[in-house]
Amino acid sequence: MSDRTTTPTSDRSTAAPNGLTWSADEMRRLGHAVIDQIVARAEGLRSGAPWRGASRSELEPLLRESCPEEPLDADAVLERAAREILPRAGRIDHPRFFAFVPSCPTWASMLGDMLATGYNIFQGTWLESAGPSQIELVVLDWFREWLDMPEGAGGLFTSGGSAANLIAVVAAREASGHPERATVYMSEQSHSSVERACRIAGFRPQQLRRIACDDAYRLDLEALDKAVRRDRSDGFTPVLVAANAGATNTGVVDPLPELAAWARAQEIWLHIDAAYGGFAALSRRGRTALKGIGEADSVTLDPHKWLFQPYETGCLMVRDPATLESAFRVFPEYLQDTDLGFEHVNFADRGLQLTRSFRALKVWMALQMLGRRAHAEAIGGAIELGDRAEAWVRAHPDFEVLSPASLGIVCFRWNPERCAPRDEPELEAMNRRIQESVVDDGVAMMSSTRLQGRYSLRLCLMNHSTSWPDVQATLDALAERGERFGRALD
Ligand SMILES: *Cc1c(COP(=O)(O)O)cnc(C)c1O
């Protein structure tokens, strides 16, 4: 293919003006204003609250309006977005945002995102995006090495972990020959997106199996083996087991090496949902915890979680990329020019999107500009914060650990030793109240979960800008409220 970047046929001055373009000066001026706005937000982030919500009834009168027929003043629109809309949201990258799964994209990665948008890359076929497709291959190969997957393994970037899980479910089903009575196995702790993926892929509820976990919330291999044997003798064909590394609730990693050996012997596709924990493999501690991950048939990763990338950046890695292409490739006449031979990967053939943005660029830019080591150290540091938080909880007589720190997540609750045993509804109400107070007072954003039916506070520590004083201040605030509200109960 030759390089056809020369021979301009028209210049900018002859382009017909229309209502959708701005002069280069105006583009620059407004572009700089947006950058200034974003940087100012980042500078003020730590001093503000990590969360701000609003009810529908507050927002309707403020924001409901008909679509303007004629243009409004661009600066005024920008100012309004910054004042009325954008601040009324969680600040997921705030150093004391510990709810759900935090995300703190680096500026280098955001610049990559802006560049990809600005260059309007169509990352569906090699013909339309040669350089970008090569970079997607390169970055995926870095991931392959980090996970210890065999040479030749590859995959694609996706909108997120949910899309990656869906692609894996379909690929596994197609690879198995799409049997009539297929079954899928997941643990009680599996992410909701795995079940949703199965639903989208056409599995009925009676084809899904939720496998019990042990006391440490790890998938119970014996229970899995039993379920598979029973299903086989009942005429079902098991096609996929989805394991966690780590689970969103607890950060717990399933017994991966044992599962891999078992799945290979059973000839069942092993999918590891590592959307939460996969990039922990960059750190020494995480690498140990994730041992065996590279033996999976497919692995879901979420660079917009622990690789500090902007939304939407997910990824699916598979042992054999041909399994994706045979599951997803459909070749219509109007794309006949795009077949340049298999080494020129058309990423549209590996998943569900034809039009795809150039997600690999932001990852590539962040790793080029900041280096792998800084990413690894930030992840290792977050894992250590989890350990320190667990130690704090263990040392405090008013709190108990419900699930020990694993990959930055610790689950615990207020349940003071000094009192008579309280019943579960009272404990739940108190823990809810303590949590709400800490959130409402702007100390930290936290969310809760439920473990073996018990209400649990949950800290998720993965933000590279969180430091121990942030965690300690949050724990101290929880203890202070426990003390204060508890006194009223005694
Ligand atoms: C976040 C998460 C998902 C879903 O990923 P999205 O990027 O939100 O679509 C799936 N599985 C696990 C374990 C997760 O933590």
pLDDT digits (tens, 9 = 90+) for 99-126: 999 999 999 999 999 999 999 999 999 9
**pTM of the predicted structure, to 2 decimals:** 0.96
How many angstroms from the chain centroid is the CA of residue 379? 15
CA atoms of 438 and 475, how far apart (whole Å)? 10
Strand, coil or helix: 177? coil
C-alpha of residue 274 to centroid of ligand 1, in Å: 8
Output the pLDDT for position 4.
52
Q: What is the mean pLDDT of the chain?
A: 95
Burial annotation 18-30 (CB, 10 A radius, 16+ → b, else e): eeeeeeeeeeeee
Closest CA to 58 of 84, 92, 83: 84
Classify the C-alpha dihedral 161-163-164-168 as positive or negative: positive
CA atoms of 330 and 344, how far apart (whole Å)? 16
Percent above pLDDT 90 for the chain? 93
Output the pLDDT for position 417.
84
Return the residue matching tokens 């049997």: 179
Q: Provide the token pair at 456.
A: 């649990």
Q: Half-sphere exposure (CA, 13 Å, Cβ side) for 50?
A: 24
C-alpha of residue 314 to centroid of ligand 1, in Å: 9
Task: Tell me: pLDDT of 420 over 90.
Answer: no
Widest distance between CA atoms in the chain: 84
Return the residue matching tokens 């419900």: 402
**Closest C-alpha residue for ligand 1 atom 3:** 161
Closest CA to 417 of 433, 439, 395: 395
Burial class (CB in 10 A: 0-12, 13-18, 19+), 297: buried
**Closest C-alpha residue for ligand 1 atom 2:** 275
**What is the number of the ligand 1 atom nearest to the C-alpha of 311?**
7
Output the pLDDT for position 89.
96
**Closest C-alpha residue for ligand 1 atom 10:** 161
Peptide bond before 294: cis, by omega within 30 degrees of 0? no
List all residues 6 or more positions away from 445 whose beta carbon is below 8 Å from its beta carbon.
50, 51, 90, 91, 94, 96, 97, 98, 99, 439
**Closest C-alpha residue for ligand 1 atom 4:** 161
Output the pLDDT for position 489.
79
For a pocket test of ligand 1, which of 159, 166, 167, 193 has the largest count of ligand atoms closer than 8 A to its C-beta? Answer: 193
What integer is the mean pLDDT of 376-402? Answer: 98
List all residues 6 or more positions away from 3 whose beta carbon is below 8 Å from its beta carbon.
none
**What is the number of the ligand 1 atom nearest to the C-alpha of 161?**
5
Return the residue matching tokens 């490739």: 329
For a pocket test of ligand 1, which of 300, 306, 309, 352 has the largest count of ligand atoms closer than 8 A to its C-beta? Answer: 300
What integer is the mean pLDDT of 16-27? Answer: 91
pLDDT digits (tens, 9 = 90+) for 454-478: 999 999 999 999 999 999 999 999 9
Task: Tell me: pLDDT of 2 over 90.
Answer: no
Classify the C-alpha dihedral 271-276-280-282 as positive or negative: positive
228 touches 259 (CB < 8 A):
no
30 touches 78 (CB < 8 A):
yes
For a pocket test of ligand 1, which of 191, 271, 301, 352 has the largest count of ligand atoms closer than 8 A to its C-beta? Answer: 191
407 touches 473 (CB < 8 A):
no
Pocket of ligand 1 (CB under 6 A): 101, 160-162, 165, 191, 193, 248, 273, 275-276, 302, 314
CA atoms of 110 and 366, how far apart (whole Å)? 9
Lowest mean pLDDT among 239-248, 356-365, 398-407, 420-429: 420-429
445 touches 90 (CB < 8 A):
yes
Closest CA to 236 of 176, 293, 291: 176
What integer is the mean pLDDT of 149-175? Answer: 98
pLDDT band (50, 70, 90) for residue 15: low
Output the pLDDT for position 3.
54
Output the pLDDT for position 457.
98
**What is the number of the ligand 1 atom nearest to the C-alpha of 248?**
15
pLDDT digits (tens, 9 = 90+) for 24-49: 999 999 999 999 999 999 999 999 99
pLDDT digits (tens, 9 = 90+) for 228-285: 999 999 999 999 999 999 999 999 999 999 999 999 999 999 999 999 999 999 999 9
Closest CA to 415 of 402, 427, 424: 427
How many angstroms from the chain centroid is the CA of residue 458? 17
In single-letter form, the type of residue at position 150 comes to P
**What is the number of the ligand 1 atom nearest to the C-alpha of 304?**
7
C-alpha of residue 90 to centroid of ligand 1, in Å: 18
Output the pLDDT for position 246.
95
**What is the number of the ligand 1 atom nearest to the C-alpha of 314?**
7
Helix (H) or strand (E) holding 187: strand 182-187
pLDDT digits (tens, 9 = 90+) for 199-214: 999 999 999 999 999 9
**What is the number of the ligand 1 atom nearest to the C-alpha of 163?**
9
